[in-house]
Amino acid sequence: METAKEQERVILVSVQTRQSDDLFDYELQELANLTETVEGEVVAVLTQKKDSIDPRTVIGKGKLEELTHLVEEFNPHTVIFEQELSPRHLRNLQEALPCKVIDRIQLILDIFAMRAKSKEGKLQVSLAQLNYLLPRLTGQGVNMSRLGGGIGTRGPGETKLETDRRHIHRQITEIKKELEETEKHRQRSREKRQASGVFQIGLIGYTNAGKSTILNRLTDAGTFEENLLFATLDPLTRKMVFPNQFKATLTDTVGFVQNLPTQLIHAFHSTLEESRGVDLFLHVVDSSQEFVDQQEETVLSLIEDLKMQETPIITVYNKKDMIHDNFQPHLHPHIVISALDENDIAKLQDFMWNEIKKHLVAYEREVPLLDGGSLFNQLQQETFVEEMDLIEEKNVYLFKGYAKRQSKWLGDSQINE
């Protein structure tokens, strides 16, 4: 008979510097949620208020003694720090503590290693982990034996950590080459979609805001949807057909989180590149969260970091059935829905179409009867045909509809709005 796998016991540590008490509690809760995502059990939490983190051990000397006692009492597998640990921090903490020590960044990298399904996703996680671990290899000594498995060691950690730096550098070079090839393929696919004239929508938002649920309700994607952080990692593009038969593509992307590790932004550059060519962002926000403002700011600042702030954004405040008491929407244009309500999905489609129309150009085009067949098919594929009338005296069809601004079909037929 199989026994249930024992959860990894974890102690969380965080230093409050300039944050308000509420924001500090929120960050700590998010660290606990991230820990639960990798099936860790939080057995104790240690916090400290300081003007700045200690350059040697993050927490002060007295707090380190307190942490040592907590480790003796609870016998955890892992201690996870909210703050990023420098190589020096890591070395000193590992000398003081008889268990594995990691930080929030390594924890997020670990979750990404769990979630990556495609070859590209796995390569990107490996690259991020190796780049993160490389400067932290020196002086780990006995800690190597503590990294045999569990939280913070998924992906390349177990095998590659024991190899020398030269081998790791070689691995990084090989992974980069493979990713460059994949990126070329992605670039060709993106260019093909852009050349086709199809309107492209990118789903963005904080992790667990409900992007995958919305993707499934608006398309036939059938993606994994559960109440988990980073449930989606690999980007997915699906065709969406509006009730009026307007066609678009909808691309789901990895969920953002505050202080997303720089290593991940760099490593997942090609994944996030999927959003670079889109015509519109659909920003999904969880309205049941207390710190909605903080989550919105995280997403919007990352969009700015990725130099995509020029792309129009419409906001979907999701989970209205669990809306927080203090919720106030203040991003515009926006709609408040529950992705689980069919009527709300219909309202979302209408809302999206009305917003999309603002970024399209109305056109009229006369097509001679003789050319009608092939041109009609192309217009149907590459623009939104709203009306098609036969004008007998001119022996032409008059097409009226909407197209993207750069569409080859506009020419002189554009209508100034």
The response to whether 116 counts as a known ligand-binding position is: no
∠ CA 56-58-59 to the nearest 5 degrees? 110
The response to whether 132 counts as a known ligand-binding position is: no
The response to whether 357 counts as a known ligand-binding position is: no
CA dist 190 and 192 (Å) reads: 5
The response to whether 338 counts as a known ligand-binding position is: yes
The response to whether 234 counts as a known ligand-binding position is: yes
∠ CA 231-232-234 to the nearest 5 degrees? 150
CA dist 99 and 137 (Å) reads: 16
The response to whether 247 counts as a known ligand-binding position is: no
The response to whether 394 counts as a known ligand-binding position is: no
The response to whether 199 counts as a known ligand-binding position is: no
The response to whether 220 counts as a known ligand-binding position is: no
Residues 67/37, Cβ–Cβ less than 8 Å: no
Number of H helices, E strands in the chain: 13, 13
Classify burial at 153, counting beta carbons within 10 Å of its beta carbon; exposed 0-12, middle 13-18, buried 19 or more: buried
CA dist 367 and 379 (Å) reads: 10
The response to whether 206 counts as a known ligand-binding position is: yes
Closest CA to 250 of 345, 169, 320, 335: 345
The response to whether 339 counts as a known ligand-binding position is: yes
The response to whether 320 counts as a known ligand-binding position is: yes
Quote the distance between the C-alpha of residue 118 and its chain's center.
15
Classify burial at 410, counting beta carbons within 10 Å of its beta carbon; exposed 0-12, middle 13-18, buried 19 or more: middle
The response to whether 207 counts as a known ligand-binding position is: yes
Residue 195, phi then psi, degrees to nearest 5 = -65, -25
The response to whether 305 counts as a known ligand-binding position is: no
Closest CA to 100 of 153, 48, 63: 153
Pairing status of strand 384-391 against strand 396-404: antiparallel
Write down the residue that tokens 């994994």 correspond to.
224
The response to whether 44 counts as a known ligand-binding position is: no
The response to whether 209 counts as a known ligand-binding position is: yes
CA dist 378 and 398 (Å) reads: 15
| 414 Cβ contact list (under 8 Å, min separation 6) | 361, 362, 363
CA dist 162 and 170 (Å) reads: 14
The response to whether 208 counts as a known ligand-binding position is: yes
The annotated binding site is made up of 205-212, 230-234, 252-255, 318-321, 338-340
The annotated binding site for GTP is made up of 205-212, 230-234, 252-255, 318-321, 338-340
The annotated binding site for Mg(2+) is made up of 212, 232
